[in-house]
Amino acid sequence: MTDPADDLAGGAGAGRQHRVVFTPSGQSGTVPHGTPVLTAARDLGVDLDSVCGGRGICGRCQVEPSLGRFDKWAINAEPDHLSEPGGLEATYRARKELADGRRLGCDLRVLGDAVIDVPASSQIHRQVVRKDVDLAGLVVDPLVTLHYVELAPLDAEDGTSITERIAGALAADWSIDRVRFDPRVLAHLHRAAADDRLTVALGPAEPDGDREVRGVWPGFVDRVVGVAIDVGSTTVAGHLCDLATGEVLASAGRMNPQIRFGEDLMSRVSYVMMNPDGRVELTAAVRRALDELVGELVDGAAAAETTGAGTGTGDEPALDRHRVLDVVLVGNPVMHHLFLGIDPSPLGQSPFTLATDTAVSGRAADVGIDAPWSSLYVAPCVAGHVGADTAAAVLAEGPHRSESIQLLVDVGTNAEIVLGNAERLFAASSPTGPAFEGAQISAGQRATAGAIERVRIDPVTLEPRFRVIGSELWSDEDGFTEATASTGITGICGSGIIEVVAELFLAGIVDADGLVVDPGVLAAAAAGAEPPTGLARIEADERTFAYRLTDTIRVTQGDVRAIQLAKAALRAGIDLLLEHAAIDTVDEIRLAGAFGAHIDPVHAMVLGLVPDCEVGRVRATGNSAGSGAVRALLAASQRAEMEDVVRRITKIETATEPRFQDLFVAALALPHRDAPNPLLSEVVTLPEPPAPTAGGPPGADGTGAAGGGRRRRRGRRARTTTKG
């Protein structure tokens, strides 16, 4: 790059030193007259980004000079203490790539004492703000960096290898003295260095001090990417991210193809145990899904790239699989073992031994992902049934960084639970089964268009209103029939079944033992008042009763029982952790996972799914595991933090805990047989709790009913203040 200020060092200021202070870091020092600001930043250890090494190609080293008197540093920063803008900055400004007040650090020269601000967008370790993936507070700490170099031309007598020339250029231009080359990159060196201008991707420093050359491209390239994937038992979700900026370029998801081998994890473990090639089949299926997902993400981001943005000066496409340089995987222990090709059978029986609970590093190709130059990082597992997805969720939600007692629950076919704060953490899992995802429910289905996802039942008339996926209208609003004509009303998804059972309980249609009440009992309970107009919705169903939600969809006694059993398993796991931690109450509850994101906190507490808590401090967090995986992808410090916190978690195995069964029986009642709910009672009016029975607690006979299954008459129906 030619600069009109190149002769400044030999001009009137030759030999002079000037003091430069960089904000917001406060780093300062003296530099020779005419020193480029980018060079000064490097010499002083300031966090200022650059890919091109000061050649004026990338435009990342933007700074904002501050003028005036700064008593704090005893500096008087005058306009003539900095060089005038040149043609390079005019070009960037004309392309609208340089905002008013900003200068290029590679073009701006120090001619006197100066104060230079490095905006967040120009820092290598910049903070990421992203709404759809919760990365609050994340500061990018890149594991892979890009370096543009220009090699000195060779004459015919020179026998220096390309690797030696690249190593020399990195040392001269970037002060990177120790590098080694990934063998898979060697075959691309001749093409990449054909015109002596190329971009080199370097991995993090190894224990011996070497940095590995992970990729090479002809010309200037300013974007490489990574993929963070959460491998769930039902869905596989991924995010493609710019490794330098932290920007999430694309997100996608797909069903886990292993479902055809079994809906839940233990079914898949059983398949492996009963079929000689079972493990190979399941591993191949999930690896194929991972590879397809990476391809979908890359293709989607490439299609969205604007012309000229990150396309480079060589003949490389804007984005392809060679630009994927890192893949982070998280998942539950069974998924973890299967995508690594490990037999999960030991996880199906006590003592539920993991093959490894530490992070695994390798190559993406090791798990069948076609990303030729990509490394692979598999997050550590916590315990036999608490996986790397939970480790990632902990990293994202940060109970270990909090003084408050946090309960983190990832609700799924196998619920993972973490309880604690910065002082100590406990973790466990509970086998909730697939009921929360619509399975084992008579009208249950996955969360797709047409599924009922929200339900309200009038506690006086017993009439329902509901909302389905695909429409924002409630069933009693004008236009609902037209809005749902294309999808129809096809069933109830997980959040819908949670709400309808909770609403049935609040309306007195289901009692605390989980029994659908005889309409005659409800009519008698009116005590002389007009019986509810909706009693006809409670219909005989063989020896029990069912509630007719729509003309074609009913909530049966079996549906209520399935939800009771699932919620009791989850709540028993939570109560077990509370006992081990000697904690009576929690300060905040976070419901994670795709299902947790759609659970209404009030209805979850009405069911007793989670313990009593201030309603405003119960919130859904979405895919915390996916957010944690993205954090681990973008920051080396986040990987270290996750590995550290996993080692500090106390693991509780519910399957071998004698107390689990007692806690499970107590949790069968709605909301709970023993635990009070004063905070929830401030929001809704709960039905009167059942009187103690001589026949044992509700559910002692395995049915969830008190006194051997006899129905208990209710004295009144509850009225709720929940809004819809």
Structure confidence by residue, pLDDT tens digits, 2-48: 344 444 544 556 678 999 999 888 889 999 999 999 999 988 988 88
**In this structure, is residue 114 part of a structural domain?**
yes
Residue 25 sits in the same domain as residue 102: yes
List, in sequence order, every beta strand (DSSP E) within 673-719. Answer: none
Residue 179 sits in the same domain as residue 202: yes
Residue ending a domain, among 526, 545, 561, is: 561
Secondary structure letter of residue 710 according to DSSP = P
Residue 365 sits in the same domain as residue 448: no
As a whole number, mean pLDDT of residues 507-517 equals: 92
Residue 204 sits in the same domain as residue 283: no
Which residue carries 């701006």 as its tokens?
108
| Strand-pair partners of 415 | 430
For residue 240, report the phi and psi dihedrals to the nearest 5 degrees: -100, 125
Q: What is the pLDDT of residue 525?
A: 73
Residue 181 sits in the same domain as residue 294: no
pLDDT at position 311 over 70: no
| Strand-pair partners of 175 | none
**In this structure, is residue 530 part of a structural domain?**
yes
- The order of strands in the sheet holding 538-541 is 538-541, 544-548, 554-555
Q: How far is CA 447 from CA 140, 237, 473, in A?
A: 34, 16, 17
Residue 255 sits in the same domain as residue 207: no
Residue ending a domain, among 191, 218, 245, is: 218
Q: Considering the chain, what is the average pLDDT of its residues? A: 85
**In this structure, is residue 667 part of a structural domain?**
no
Residue 63 sits in the same domain as residue 91: yes
Q: What's the rounded Cα separation, in Å, for the pair 690 and 99?
A: 68
Token reading at 662? 């007692």
**In this structure, is residue 665 part of a structural domain?**
no
pLDDT at position 333 over 50: yes
Contact 654, 157 (CB under 8 A): no
Q: What is the pLDDT of residue 690?
A: 52
**In this structure, is residue 182 part of a structural domain?**
yes
Question: Buried b vs exposed e over 292-319: b needs ≥16 C-beta within 10 Å?
Answer: bbbbbbbbebbeeeeeeebbbbbebebb
Residue 155 sits in the same domain as residue 190: yes
As a whole number, mean pLDDT of residues 407-426 equals: 90
Q: What is the pLDDT of residue 714?
A: 34
As a whole number, mean pLDDT of residues 602-611 equals: 93
Q: What is the pLDDT of residue 712?
A: 33
User: How would DSSP label each residue in 316-332?
Assistant: --SS-GGGEEEEEEEE-
Q: What's the rounded Cα separation, in Å, for the pair 125 and 635?
A: 9
Residue 470 sits in the same domain as residue 357: no
Helix axes 557-581, 659-667, angle to 10 degrees: 130
CATH of the domain at 374: 3.30.420.480
List, in sequence order, every beta strand (DSSP E) within 81-132. Answer: 103-104, 109-110, 114-117
Residue 656 pLDDT grade (very low, low, confident, very high; cuts 50, 70, 90): confident
For the stretch 169-198, pLDDT in tens is: 999 999 998 999 999 999 999 999 989 999
Token reading at 554? 């009913």
Which tops the pLDDT comparison, 98 or 121? 98
pLDDT at position 659 over 70: yes
pLDDT at position 496 over 60: yes
Number of other CB atoms surrounding residue 533 within 10 Å:
12
Which tops the pLDDT comparison, 287 or 314? 287
**In this structure, is residue 607 part of a structural domain?**
no
pLDDT at position 524 over 70: yes
Q: What is the pLDDT of residue 691?
A: 53
**In this structure, is residue 681 part of a structural domain?**
no
For the stretch 546-571, pLDDT in tens is: 999 999 999 999 999 999 999 999 99
Q: What is the pLDDT of residue 308?
A: 41
Residue 117 sits in the same domain as residue 57: yes
For the stretch 669-722, pLDDT in tens is: 999 999 999 999 998 888 876 554 444 444 433 333 333 333 333 333 333 444
**In this structure, is residue 342 part of a structural domain?**
yes
Q: Tabulate helix, strand, coil % of the chain (nearest 5).
A: 30, 25, 45
Helix (H, G, I), strand (E, B) or coil at 291: helix
Range of the domain at 340: 225-378
pTM for the full model?
A: 0.79
For the stretch 131-156, pLDDT in tens is: 356 777 788 889 999 999 999 887 76
Q: How far is CA 73 from CA 32, 41, 70, 76, 120, in A?
A: 19, 17, 6, 9, 22
Q: What is the pLDDT of residue 694?
A: 42
Residue 330 pLDDT grade (very low, low, confident, very high; cuts 50, 70, 90): very high
Residue 528 pLDDT grade (very low, low, confident, very high; cuts 50, 70, 90): low
- Rounded-to-10 torsion of CA 552, 555, 559, 561: -160
Q: What is the pLDDT of residue 406?
A: 96
Residue ending a domain, among 538, 561, 584, is: 561
Structural domains of the chain, count: 4
Q: What is the pLDDT of residue 620?
A: 83
Residue 100 sits in the same domain as residue 167: no
Residue 555 sits in the same domain as residue 471: yes
Q: What is the pLDDT of residue 218?
A: 93
Among 108, 114, 83, 105, CA closest to 38: 105
